[in-house]
Amino acid sequence: MNRRDMIAASLAAGGALIAAPRPASARTRDSGRDDSPEMKAAVASGVGYFSSRCDEQAKLCRNLEQAIRSGDLEAARRAYVVARPPYEEIETLAYAFEEVDADIDARPYSFDGGETDDNFRGFHKIEALLFGYNDPEAALPYAVRLGRSVAQLKTQLGELDRFDAAGQFGGMYALTNEVAAKKISSEEEAWSNQSLVIFKHNWIGANSQFMPFAVLVEARDPAAVKAVRDAHAAAMETLKPHFKPGVVAATPYTEVSFADRRRMADASNRFRDAIANASRVVGADSEIS
């Protein structure tokens, strides 16, 4: 079961939207052909934002590669943490580029050989080498490969026929569900201890994709838009004590109390449910219900 299949399984457990789930990879790429012009415009707006974030990701990956080449372990570790946010937002739409997603962000359990599998690469491989093995030299070829994967992602973000309204909402739902169902367990940044950075930018990413649809939802049900906005704000509020202004890194996750973790998980579930309701308001849940 690959990473996206696992998210599909977690969706089934959520139950708010899912009746007969299927992996996102099973969706046809022309499934958005019946989207209204307004829905297509909302999709394009969200994808366009992520395309700009991908440009930022490419620059941060170049900085990471340079820091790794320097051999300065602490500089490489700092560059790694700073490089994480953009893709953790873009990940919202991973249903549309599963292979590139795996190259950039898959974790060891996605591969038969785990950490030692030849196909394990991307951010989490670099994380393990920098924080687990203190070995920037070994991380270098993976940093180079990561840059190529991000360039491929940029190309695919320009292919709008990959994306549709149902997929956007499905991605928002899946990622907010994944934070509570899996990432709170600390399986995310196990070596860098920066899981809170991931939660923060997953929520930012999901919200960024909802915003272009907000006008369409509000025209039918203003309360549904308010619910999403309030839920996103409440989720972000749970993180405030753990971040300093202008600093990407957060409180190490091992220092976060279980009470705070519970609040974060509950907030992500409420955000998920508000997104689910909004998707039904505009009829954009057809591929995941």
The string of pLDDT tens digits covering residues 81-118 is 999 999 999 999 999 999 999 999 999 999 999 999 99
Q: How confident is the model at residue 276 (pLDDT cuts 50, 70, 90)?
A: very high
Would the pLDDT of 9 be above 90?
A: no
The string of pLDDT tens digits covering residues 55-66 is 999 999 999 999
Whole-angstrom Cα distance, residue 229 to residue 215?
A: 12
243, β-bridge pairs = 250
Would the pLDDT of 76 be above 90?
A: yes
The secondary structure of residue 118, as a DSSP letter, is: T
Just give the CATH number of 3-10+35-288: 1.20.1420.20
Domain ranges (residues) in the chain: 3-10+35-288
The string of pLDDT tens digits covering residues 23-43 is 333 344 455 678 999 999 999
Using H for helix, E for strand and C for coil, what is the string for the chain? Answer: CCHHHHHHHHHHHHCCCCCCCCCHHHCCCCCCCCCCHHHHHHHHHHHHHHHHHHHHHHHHHHHHHHHHHHCCHHHHHHHHHHHCHHHHHHHHHHHHCHHHHHHHHCCHHHCCCHHHCCCCCCHHHHHHHHHHCCCHHHHHHHHHHHHHHHHHHHHHHCCHHHCCHHHHHHHHHHHHHHHHHCHHHCCCCCCCCCHHHHHHHHHHHHHHHHHHHHHHHHHHCHHHHHHHHHHHHHHHHHHHHHECCCCCCECCHHHCCHHHHHHHHHHHHHHHHHHHHHHHHCCCCHHHC
Q: How confident is the model at residue 20 (pLDDT cuts 50, 70, 90)?
A: very low
